[in-house]
Amino acid sequence: MASHMQSQESRAECSSIALLEITAQLIRDQGYAGTTMRRIAEQAGIKAASIYYHYASKDEIIDRVLDRGIVESMARVRQTMAELPAGAPFCERFTAAIGAYLATVNQLGTYFIATRQLLNQIPPELAERHRQRRVELDRFWADLLDEGYREGAIAESGTNGLARLFMLGALNWSTEWMDLSRKSSDELAEVAASLFLNGIETR
Amino acid sequence: MASHMQSQESRAECSSIALLEITAQLIRDQGYAGTTMRRIAEQAGIKAASIYYHYASKDEIIDRVLDRGIVESMARVRQTMAELPAGAPFCERFTAAIGAYLATVNQLGTYFIATRQLLNQIPPELAERHRQRRVELDRFWADLLDEGYREGAIAESGTNGLARLFMLGALNWSTEWMDLSRKSSDELAEVAASLFLNGIETR
DNA sequence: CCGATCACCTAACAAGCGTTAGCCGAGGTG
DNA sequence: CACCTCGGCTAACGCTTGTTAGGTGATCGG
């Protein structure tokens, strides 16, 4: 996946999906404008013009990256939730969701750290579609918290929406420092869930 | 500060500091590569070449923006802390610090959202200096939390460092959604502090 | 064996980038 | 009045950007 793949086999076989993965890395590390066709190509071991065989434009790649990232992330989180035992308590479901989210955001989901910054740069109608994906994601967490409230596990307050924003922010920002080789996403999820549920104050 | 200032008075009088403020906005919204000299100039109502009267290069502006942002932010947070009554309890100091930090990060401090992304793009030795500023910031919060622990206000755990990362992330990410015209930074600080201190779980 | 298709290539384009050189009018100072 | 500095200006440079046109060799179905 690194470079010079055509030296061994004559077919370079740089798949379209590999290009997405490379692009996702670059977006995360260099931003939208810093993610150039030539840099993507270089990472893939091909030339910039060759990318146009796979994708029609830079914007199409970006679009695919954002879409795939957030869709796949949500899918994995939902799947993790579905695999939990039937009557699992809120605390457990909450922690599992955080773990799955941290994992996807950081390994595969290095993809879709689609910040306002990125949304400001991509074409408007493309941005609009992605903005809606983000609303879906937010709704997932809102629903989860709502279940917790109905179970009586967590306190509801008028500021619940704000608290959710802070919590999601904490998880999203983790891409800035997370190193999965030191702590697994599940270990980190324990810490985050404990922080969000109990706080740091002594009882 | 917007544009066409030379129409009224003959002197355009676009101060160096105004350029920093404009650049800070652009960095936040467009990233490093997206922040072009021509765009900075356009926002300032002057031409790109004129910027070189104030600053030697694009990198010098970026440097100044990052430096000024984080230094001023820390200064304001520390000042806010200093203005608290002498024996203020940890809870109050914690909330005040969060409020000051949220305010500077979002209004003036729109400046220094210097993410790993930005640090990857600016020249290495400039990045190194800024990385150290970030360490200072982290230490401030570590010290604050340590005081709280010694007061017995908060629980210490081996994962305190991780919890701190999550908390700071929550505050930093707020630039993505915060709208100070809806809620003041102090109101938001109440929510964040309550979340961090008590969590959302019912007692 | 032959054409087609695939997956890449080279070369070039216009536009935009940071930056430099040199110019100009307004305002203050001798 | 002459002079100088200030804060801008225009024009251009070499380079990089996204993108297009057209070519090339390997693989494969008939």
Partner residue opposite B169 with nearest CB, options A33, A154, A173? A173
- Compare all CA atoms of chain B with the CA of A146 and give the residue at the minimum distance: B200
B99 and B153 belong to one structural domain: yes
Q: Residue B35: what residue type?
A: T
How many angstroms separate the CA of B4 from the C1' of C25? 18
Residue A203 lies in a domain: no
Number of domains in chain A: 2
pLDDT digits (tens, 9 = 90+) for A21-68: 999 888 888 888 889 999 999 999 999 999 999 999 999 999 898 888
Taking the C1' atom of every nucleotide in all shown strands and the CA of B19, the nearest one is D7
Mean pLDDT across the stretch A154-164? 81
Whole domain around residue A86: which residue ranges? 58-198
Q: How far is B78 from chain A (nearest CA, A)?
A: 22
A70 and A167 belong to one structural domain: yes
3-state SS, residue A199 = coil
How many angstroms separate the CA of A165 from the C1' of D8? 45
B38 and B74 belong to one structural domain: no
B81 and B107 belong to one structural domain: yes
Residue B109 lies in a domain: yes
- Residues of B in Cβ contact (< 8 Å) with A198: 198-199, 201
**Boundary of a domain, candidates B14, B36, B55:** B55
pLDDT digits (tens, 9 = 90+) for B83-96: 999 999 999 999 99
A46 and A83 belong to one structural domain: no
Q: Which carries the bigger pLDDT value, residue A167 or residue B156? A: A167
B9 and B64 belong to one structural domain: no
Burial of B53: CB neighbours in 10 Å, binned 0-12, 13-18, 19+:
exposed
B163 and B106 belong to one structural domain: yes
Taking the C1' atom of every nucleotide in all shown strands and the CA of B50, the nearest one is D8
Nearest to A73 by CA among A16, A129, A138, A123: A138
Whether A165 has a pLDDT exceeding 70, the answer reads yes
**Which domain CATH number covers B25?**
1.10.10.60
Q: Which pLDDT does position B115 carry in this prediction?
A: 65
Which residues bind near strand C, taking a CB cut-off of 7 Å?
Answer: A 6, 11-14, 41, 45-50, 52-54; B 10-11, 35-39, 48-49, 52, 56-59
Task: Identify whether the C-beta of residue A70 lies closer than 8 Å to the C-beta of residue A20.
Answer: no
Neighbours of A43 (CB within 10 A): 19
Residue B203 lies in a domain: no
Mean pLDDT across the stretch A65-72? 86
Give the per-residue SS3 of A27-60.
HHHHHHHHCCHHHHHHHHCCCHHHHHHHCCCHHH
Mean pLDDT across the stretch B163-189? 92
Residue A2's contacts (CB-CB under 8 Å, 6 or more residues apart) are A43, A45
Mean pLDDT across the stretch A79-95? 96
Residue A170 lies in a domain: yes
Interface of A with B in 70-99 (CB under 8 A): 91
Which residues bind near strand D, taking a CB cut-off of 7 Å?
Answer: A 10-11, 35-39, 48-49, 52, 56-59; B 6, 11-14, 41, 46-50, 52-54
**Boundary of a domain, candidates B21, B37, B55:** B55
Mean pLDDT (chain A, rounded): 86
Query: Looking at the DSSP assignment, which residues form a beta bridge with residue A20?
Result: none
Q: Which pLDDT does position A162 carry in this prediction?
A: 95
B31 and B101 belong to one structural domain: no
Cα-Cα end-to-end distance for chain A: 51
Mean pLDDT (chain B, rounded): 85
Residue A3 lies in a domain: yes
B134 and B74 belong to one structural domain: yes
pLDDT digits (tens, 9 = 90+) for B32-72: 888 999 999 999 999 999 999 999 999 999 989 888 888 88
3-state SS, residue B201 = strand
d(CA B101, CA B81): 11
Whether B114 has a pLDDT exceeding 70, the answer reads no
Task: Identify whether the C-beta of residue A173 lies closer than 8 Å to the C-beta of residue B170.
Answer: yes
Burial A68-105 (b: 16+ CB within 10 A, else e): bbbeebbebbeebeeeeeeeeebbebbbbbbbbbbbbb
pLDDT digits (tens, 9 = 90+) for A166-187: 999 999 989 888 888 999 999 9
Residue A111 lies in a domain: yes
A95 and A172 belong to one structural domain: yes
**Boundary of a domain, candidates A55, A85, A101:** A55
Burial B152-182 (b: 16+ CB within 10 A, else e): ebbbeeebbebbbbbbbbbbbbbbbebeeee
Residue B120 lies in a domain: yes
B118 and B34 belong to one structural domain: no
Residue A183 lies in a domain: yes
B63 and B132 belong to one structural domain: yes
**Which domain CATH number covers A100?**
1.10.357.10
